Amino acid sequence: MNSFGEIFRLTTFGESHGPALGGIIDGMPAGLEVDIKAVQQELDRRRPGQSAIVTGRQENDRVTFLSGIFEGKTTGTPIGFTIANTDQHSKDYEEMRHIWRPSHADMTYTMKYGMRDHRGGGRASARETAARVVGGALARQVLSRHGITVAAYTSSVGPVTTPLPYSSMSLASAYDNDARCPDKDVAEEMIRLIKEVKKKGDTIGGTVTCVVSGVPAGLGEPLFDKLQSRLAAAMLSIPAAKGFDYGMGFDGCGSLGSEMADTFIPDGNGGITTATNHSGGIQGGISNGSDIYFRVAFKPVATLLRRVDTTDDTGRPTQLQARGRHDPCVLPRAVPIVEAMTAMVILDAFLKNRTTRL
Amino acid sequence: MNSFGEIFRLTTFGESHGPALGGIIDGMPAGLEVDIKAVQQELDRRRPGQSAIVTGRQENDRVTFLSGIFEGKTTGTPIGFTIANTDQHSKDYEEMRHIWRPSHADMTYTMKYGMRDHRGGGRASARETAARVVGGALARQVLSRHGITVAAYTSSVGPVTTPLPYSSMSLASAYDNDARCPDKDVAEEMIRLIKEVKKKGDTIGGTVTCVVSGVPAGLGEPLFDKLQSRLAAAMLSIPAAKGFDYGMGFDGCGSLGSEMADTFIPDGNGGITTATNHSGGIQGGISNGSDIYFRVAFKPVATLLRRVDTTDDTGRPTQLQARGRHDPCVLPRAVPIVEAMTAMVILDAFLKNRTTRL
Amino acid sequence: MNSFGEIFRLTTFGESHGPALGGIIDGMPAGLEVDIKAVQQELDRRRPGQSAIVTGRQENDRVTFLSGIFEGKTTGTPIGFTIANTDQHSKDYEEMRHIWRPSHADMTYTMKYGMRDHRGGGRASARETAARVVGGALARQVLSRHGITVAAYTSSVGPVTTPLPYSSMSLASAYDNDARCPDKDVAEEMIRLIKEVKKKGDTIGGTVTCVVSGVPAGLGEPLFDKLQSRLAAAMLSIPAAKGFDYGMGFDGCGSLGSEMADTFIPDGNGGITTATNHSGGIQGGISNGSDIYFRVAFKPVATLLRRVDTTDDTGRPTQLQARGRHDPCVLPRAVPIVEAMTAMVILDAFLKNRTTRL
Amino acid sequence: MNSFGEIFRLTTFGESHGPALGGIIDGMPAGLEVDIKAVQQELDRRRPGQSAIVTGRQENDRVTFLSGIFEGKTTGTPIGFTIANTDQHSKDYEEMRHIWRPSHADMTYTMKYGMRDHRGGGRASARETAARVVGGALARQVLSRHGITVAAYTSSVGPVTTPLPYSSMSLASAYDNDARCPDKDVAEEMIRLIKEVKKKGDTIGGTVTCVVSGVPAGLGEPLFDKLQSRLAAAMLSIPAAKGFDYGMGFDGCGSLGSEMADTFIPDGNGGITTATNHSGGIQGGISNGSDIYFRVAFKPVATLLRRVDTTDDTGRPTQLQARGRHDPCVLPRAVPIVEAMTAMVILDAFLKNRTTRL
């Protein structure tokens, strides 16, 4: 379904080539001042056409709020919003009416629904993530009032990976370069690689790392709504995402328990802390107060910018020349989307946790 | 919360040291004969005490069905069941009333709820997964009538990894050895490693791979209930799980799009198929009819069987000697749990998809 | 929350005085031709300004669909829509910023949310029901393809009640008169009464009766989603609704069981029918194939068109002169809203029931 | 489905003739002392066999808690419980395997599920309400700590109705007589009438009135989870319930707005109150701090204790002689069930409201 979250809940609609996309944010706490410019800034970060290494489409992505905000403040009623689709080249897609692009959702939508809007990927277009960014931007504004920050960055593109742990970088600087990697030197390598790949009409994958700081202990609802379950579901719902791990993650599988235990130690102020954070800030599905960090794997996008062999929907061999404008690498634009989904998960858990003890 | 699934929904209860655990299965289709022996067999596969490489606890794990099955068939009404807790050594845990085990849920439960049942991990004990296995076993029986099979196996333990792709192994043979890896030679290595680790009082992690075959195209509900989102949430809700990826997963991040596209080709019978299945059987969140396959990362379990340094819950340094009986490696017992959760996800999606077209 | 339904689900947003209201319809079956004119016709029936006995506000109520419909057919993806607010007289409400209208939601919204949009009732305005009518209109189009019809009418206004059972009237003719009562003579009396009440600046209540025909046996999900539970929740969510009963309802409370049993009799075609339908087409929460019928009680609307005594929000006595344009009797305009909510409940149950047996 | 509530959620299972029924309470706030005797007392009030005017079945109805309570306090984890079925006369029902009792759920369950447990009504038996009473009893214990009380009583049996408003009776005395009407003289008349009806092998209906006091302003979630919507759904889910109204309800339909407005007046302490409470404590779906009161209509139970004409499930005429033990009037035993459902609705709204403002 098209709703996300239990108490803070975003419901979205919209195809890439209809008049508009948008959504409804339900469960937004009442009485908060909304910084609409900040929302727009996050949309701008997701928007294509910003640099040499992303698609050249010029989507304006202006959000219009229709309800739920009165005299600058949230009223507690649902916040409806739209983002007009303005830079559509629907004709680019006409030949795809009967061709399914490999590794795209063209075939599966057709099989499931018996038909599809073939223009620009329809509902499966990554354009729908604009609505997520709006929801996430509002969630972040609530979180930041409670000292919780969410920061993501590109941690690898193809084989190019930053060797630095997140804690030794200034995550806020991720948006300072086109790769969105706060490790500047590595960012330059990433950019070089993406340009090279683009020149060949090819695409490349990578990983985003996300860090949530300032989370109070207690968020997450065992058994089935563990914080990592919600985060994983959120991340895997992003187009092109193929994997999720948190804390020690896949890399910890090869380790021993004695190497991975986060030993409790006195914190020097009469409290307790842990010597390490291999757990990634979550134990038993509940936040423990340490930083939450996780990775999301993104595949190389499936649309190549060169002629590829395929069949039409009757099985007849044909060739496909994508004429839309596409990203050679989804990573830089995935960063704000990962942040948005994360912010919504954390706020939802934060609100839910208010019902645990009276 | 303690419910899982939308239409086929399992709700569970129970701590490791209460009188019983159990659950309620809602949305089970009506009129199906239930093979109760097969349910018990799956429970036996999860049960501790079965081999030299798992915990020596002797849990009987007999399921008692209390409703929803009449004259051998499901009635469409909820299926309540209990599993008595019989082999409790509650006193093993008395000293842990004021000690939080490192990398366990002891601290986070206490922070969230203001208290916890400190015996045997309480609700956070992996013992709760017995109820999941019951739900999964019933789901499998429905799926198998529709030609859908779910098979998981241990694909790595520490650095020991089977090099074989799933398609070249007989997955049904996974349960033939204690490691639950259908690659016999590698299985022996895994067993050797686990025994060695156990001797040192240490623990080790690994990965489970799971394959779902016979899935019709069309399962999964974009945007936010994509099949991979549901699978990821299910897997990350399993105790000790740290990561999930499907299809090319994390390994595909370093690849080019041209290497990873699943090109459409004629299938020789007038239909269409794909030359490869890097997508892992899901595109745009919807199954495409190919095998679905994914991996789950499990950490080395946190309870070491040797004395470790820690603090009590007031921050005073102390030492902890786990006296319960624990697994040196969670992998073999994780296999039936992964299968159970997968079966429930797929059945839920299968039922939901019946509402897509009239 | 602002979502209604489980599988066919409407989520709405919008205040009476914002730029627009609207909604998202999720779970609409794919591949159905949409009759957009028919949707508009139902909106027009709800719209104010249509006759002498309803408010003189001229709301245009044009629905704009933004997604989910492609080349005239539903795609199975969410249908977003907006209805612009065009005839706002926001200044009519300025003085109400600090006055709570008696028996309105002004006080309770302020208490709950700490603030409110005071213009025209804000989110609590009956204007929000326009979005419900859009959802209901689409649901009806699906139902009608399956032979299910929904027809409501004004069955009483104040003490003026039609003595005819629904089965002896042509329900389709309800919209032929301003009272929306298919009993023409009684309709005239109702109109007379409403005009009289209006002249005095007063308001009056009444009941709507609704009949659903052609419903197959089997809809409704015991225990807690019984068909009557869903209908009751739907009806009580309509502004000004104060009660719901179905079948024999409140009137049957005084009767004996022997008078009220719906005895089974042969139907003459080798099947079974019942001699009566006191049950109202539902038994044990599940439809039995007979007509479903129920009543909804509506209070006299709270806004009088004359000066009334009240206090401001600090408790200081003042007088209130409503200057907006209001209905003297909500009944005629409630008829299409009752139909819309009913259609959505029935379609949701219809879709859910497809998962009961495989 | 078999779950009720969003944050405080009861899921139940069980037929009248299986080994046990029971449920799982999820979302119970942590750290509260549980008075288990008080739970049992409420079960005893629902239990049959308590007086001359209810069924003579002797159900023991002992609740066994299996989890979620540790050292006398709630842990925040799910509370599983069972109630054994001990006084089953399954053979009483054998002849009903192929006979559908008129106005019962026998036919509809068979139509929906393709089969049914024909013994004692199966899942449709009112016996399932025992699980609701357990959930309600725990909810009440939470509410009472916050000064909220729930009290119901039999307000009419057939034509015998108490003329007293609830505010002029001591509601706590309702359980002092077998009719459960705090108006003693009327209670005696009710008892006389029920005995008379019973002697004839007939049954009779009536109404329960319920009052919730001490509710803070702000509970209820517009638009679709208005407090009255939730209450109506809860009440209509009770077996034999046919209607619900609140505040002025159906009786207010004949009134003028000027008679029904709850005018604001100074409360003498610098605050505001209303001169009347025709609204029934809810405005715009949100509690306003006044008493919430509503009525529930119950039909005369369908099982007559005399021979009735019917058909078997192939349409062949036959006669049915109910041999189970049944209530001539459901009203007295409905009182604790109405209270239980009400308590769960109010607690759920109370918990949800904690997420409205930060």
Q: A357–B114: do the CB atoms touch at under 8 Å? A: yes
Concatenated DSSP letters for D50-61?
A: SSTTS-------
| Chain D neighbors of B67, CB-CB under 8 A | 13-15, 18, 20-21, 123
The residue of chain B nearest to residue D10, with distances taken between CA atoms, is B11
pLDDT tens-digit readout, A64-76: 999 999 999 999 9
pLDDT tens-digit readout, C265-312: 888 887 888 999 999 999 999 999 999 999 999 999 888 878 888 888
User: What local confidence, expressed as pLDDT, does residue D306 receive?
Assistant: 82
| C-alpha atoms less than 13 angstroms from C-alpha of D138 in its C-beta half-sphere | 33
User: What local confidence, expressed as pLDDT, does residue B344 receive?
Assistant: 98
Please give the residue that has the higher pLDDT: either C61 or B232: B232
Q: Tell whether B245 is within 8 A of chain A (Cβ).
A: yes
| Closest in B66, B73, B122 to D18, CB measured | B66
Residue D129 belongs to what H/E stretch? helix D129-145
Nearest alpha carbon to residue A31 among A65, A72, A75: A75
Mean pLDDT of chain D: 93
Q: Tell whether C13 is within 8 A of chain A (Cβ).
A: yes
Q: In this structure, are residues C61 and C44 in contact, taking their beta carbons and an 8 Å threshold?
A: yes
Alpha-carbon distance of A81 to A70, in angstroms, equals 14
Nearest alpha carbon to residue C320 among C95, C120, C90, C116: C95
Contacts of D218 (CB under 8 A, 6+ apart): C108, C111, C112, D286, D287, D353, D356
| Chain B neighbors of D23, CB-CB under 8 A | 24
pLDDT band at A99 (very low <50, low <70, confident <90, very high): confident
Alpha-carbon distance of B352 to C294, in angstroms, equals 30
Mean pLDDT of chain B: 93
pLDDT tens-digit readout, C77-101: 999 999 999 866 666 677 788 888 8
- Give start and end residues of each alpha helix (H) in chain C: 36-46, 106-113, 129-145, 184-199, 227-236, 257-260, 331-353
Please give the residue that has the higher pLDDT: either D47 or C154: C154
φ and ψ at B271, to 5 degrees? -105, -165
Nearest alpha carbon to residue D282 among D194, D345, D325: D345
Q: In this structure, are residues C214 and C147 in contact, taking their beta carbons and an 8 Å threshold?
A: yes
| Closest in C13, C23, C73 to A79, CB measured | C13
Alpha-carbon distance of C56 to C54, in angstroms, equals 6
Alpha-carbon distance of C126 to C59, in angstroms, equals 12
Integer CA distances (angstroms), A109 to B225, B346, B354, in order: 14, 18, 15
Q: Compute the Cα dihedral for D249, D254, D257, D259 and give only its sign.
A: negative
Q: Tell whether D224 is within 8 A of chain A (Cβ).
A: no
Q: Tell whether C352 is within 8 A of chain B (Cβ).
A: yes
Asked if pLDDT for residue A63 goes beyond 90, the answer is: yes
Smallest CA–CA separation between B1 and chain C, in Å? 18
Mean pLDDT of chain A: 93
Which one of D6, D7, D13 would you mutate to disrupt binding with B, by most B Cβ within 10 Å of its Cβ?
Answer: D13
Alpha-carbon distance of B198 to D110, in angstroms, equals 56
User: What local confidence, expressed as pLDDT, does residue A49 receive?
Assistant: 72
Q: A32–D358: do the CB atoms touch at under 8 Å? A: yes
Asked if pLDDT for residue A90 goes beyond 80, the answer is: no
Q: C223–D278: do the CB atoms touch at under 8 Å? A: no
Q: Are strands A292-298 and A241-246 parallel, antiparallel or unpaired?
A: antiparallel
pLDDT band at D57 (very low <50, low <70, confident <90, very high): low
| Chain B neighbors of A271, CB-CB under 8 A | 315
Contacts of B196 (CB under 8 A, 6+ apart): none
Alpha-carbon distance of B146 to B140, in angstroms, equals 10
CA C333 to chain centre: 9
Q: What angle, 0 to 180 degrees and rounded to 10, lies between the N-to-C axes of helices A331-353 and A36-46?
A: 140
Over range B292-320, report the average pLDDT.
88
pLDDT band at C253 (very low <50, low <70, confident <90, very high): very high
Alpha-carbon distance of C46 to C238, in angstroms, equals 13
- Amino acid in position B6: E
pLDDT tens-digit readout, B220-263: 999 999 999 999 999 999 999 999 999 999 999 999 999 999 99
User: What local confidence, expressed as pLDDT, does residue D272 receive?
Assistant: 85
Integer CA distances (angstroms), B211 to A104, B155, B177, B214, in order: 21, 12, 19, 10
Alpha-carbon distance of A266 to B311, in angstroms, equals 7
Q: B67–D15: do the CB atoms touch at under 8 Å? A: yes
Please give the residue that has the higher pLDDT: either D48 or B248: B248
Smallest CA–CA separation between C116 and chain A, in Å? 6
Contacts of D48 (CB under 8 A, 6+ apart): D54, D55, D56, D57, D58, D59, D325, D327, D333
User: What local confidence, expressed as pLDDT, does residue B47 receive?
Assistant: 86
Task: Specify the range with the lowest mean pLDDT, choosing from B345-349, D37-41, D320-324.
Answer: D320-324
User: Residues of chain B with pLDDT > 70: what percent?
Assistant: 96
Q: In this structure, are residues D65 and D79 in contact, taking their beta carbons and an 8 Å threshold?
A: yes
| Closest in A30, A142, A357 to D356, CB measured | A30
- Amino acid in position C110: T
Give me the residue label for tokens 């990203």: A327
- All partners of chain C with 3 or more CB pairs under 8 angstroms: A, B, D
Integer CA distances (angstroms), B195 to B154, B174, B302, D321, in order: 16, 19, 17, 69
User: What local confidence, expressed as pLDDT, does residue A206 receive?
Assistant: 98
Alpha-carbon distance of D321 to B275, in angstroms, equals 68
Q: Tell whether A180 is within 8 A of chain C (Cβ).
A: no
Interface of C with A in 68-127 (CB under 8 A): 68, 70, 73, 75-80, 82, 112-117, 122-123
In this prediction the ipTM stands at 0.97
User: What local confidence, expressed as pLDDT, does residue D95 receive?
Assistant: 79
Q: Is the peptide bond before C223 cis (omega within 30 degrees of 0)?
A: yes
pLDDT tens-digit readout, D198-235: 999 999 999 999 999 999 999 999 999 999 999 999 99
Beta strands in chain C (DSSP E): 3-4, 9-13, 20-26, 63-65, 69-70, 73-74, 79-84, 149-157, 160-161, 206-213, 241-246, 264-266, 272-274, 282-283, 286-287, 292-298, 308-311, 317-320
Query: How many residues does the structure list for chain B?
Result: 358
Residues forming a β-bridge with A82: A22, A64
CA C270 to chain centre: 39
Q: A128–B223: do the CB atoms touch at under 8 Å? A: yes
Q: In this structure, are residues A308 and B261 in contact, taking their beta carbons and an 8 Å threshold?
A: yes
Concatenated DSSP letters for D191-233?
A: HHHHHHHHHTT--B-EEEEEEEESPPTT--BTTTB-HHHHHHH
| Chain C neighbors of D239, CB-CB under 8 A | 284
pTM attached to this predicted model? 0.97
Alpha-carbon distance of B55 to B57, in angstroms, equals 6
User: What local confidence, expressed as pLDDT, does residue D42 receive?
Assistant: 96
- All partners of chain D with 3 or more CB pairs under 8 angstroms: A, B, C
Alpha-carbon distance of B255 to A304, in angstroms, equals 13
